[in-house]
Amino acid sequence: MTVRIRLARLDDLPSIMHTENSCFGEESFDTSVVHAFLVRKDSFVLVAVDDASVIGVAMCHCSERLSRGRIASVAVVGNHQGKGVGTTLIEACEREFRKRGITRFTLEAALDNVRAVRTYLSNGYRIMCTINDYYSHGRGAYYMEKDVTMEGKRVKVKVS
């Protein structure tokens, strides 16, 4: 399998919606929201493409004011999960953020979404806090963050 990651175009919208719906069902973003991610200057969408088909999607928002990039959604179609596509998408999002001068990345993951939380932890994200009632049906979320400017730095802590 040769997977290529590229910035999504407007004509990818049906394939993106198909991927989103297959992964998130009733919790998928609406088409209008995905459309906004595609056209707004402060956001971008990446697709993972195998031959001609979209097998994964990542949607991101950039806050230059806060110097923070938020990965709003990562989705890999069922039969392609567990093969490194999600990790490749996350790495590509981070490269795209860095091109825009952003080195602090954030995301949310449902408390019970073990696979997603493991994926983010193994990509260097840390759990910062939990958010109650973040998703539908009262499901809570972890708020996770990765700050590449802190990587490898020692922080002095004074204990009194």
Ligand X SMILES: CC(C)(COP(=O)(O)OP(=O)(O)OC[C@H]1O[C@@H](n2cnc3c(N)ncnc32)[C@H](O)[C@@H]1OP(=O)(O)O)[C@@H](O)C(=O)NCCC(=O)NCCS
> Which residues form the interface with ligand X (CB under 6 A)?
23, 74-76, 81-87, 109, 113, 115-116, 118-119, 122
Query: Which of 6, 64 has the CB closer to ligand X?
Result: 6
Task: Give the whole-angstrom CA distance, residue 107 versus residue 72.
Answer: 6
CB-closest chain residue to ligand X: 86
For residue 72, which of 10, 127, 132, 116 has the smallest C-alpha distance?
Answer: 116
Mapping DSSP onto H, E and C, the string for 5-26 reads EEECCHHHHHHHHHHHHHHHHH
Query: Which of 82, 101 has the CB closer to ligand X?
Result: 82
Least distance in angstroms from the C-beta of 51 to ligand X: 17
Least distance in angstroms from the C-beta of 84 to ligand X: 5
Query: Which residues are within 8 A (CB) of 66 and not within 5 positions of it... i.e. 6 or more apart?
Result: none
Query: Which of 8, 75 has the CB closer to ligand X?
Result: 75
Give strand ranges (E) for the chain. 3-7, 43-50, 53-63, 68-76, 104-110, 126-131, 141-147
Least distance in angstroms from the C-beta of 31 to ligand X: 18
Query: Which of 151, 153 has the CB closer to ligand X?
Result: 151
Paired with 141 in beta bridges are 110, 131
Least distance in angstroms from the C-beta of 47 to ligand X: 13
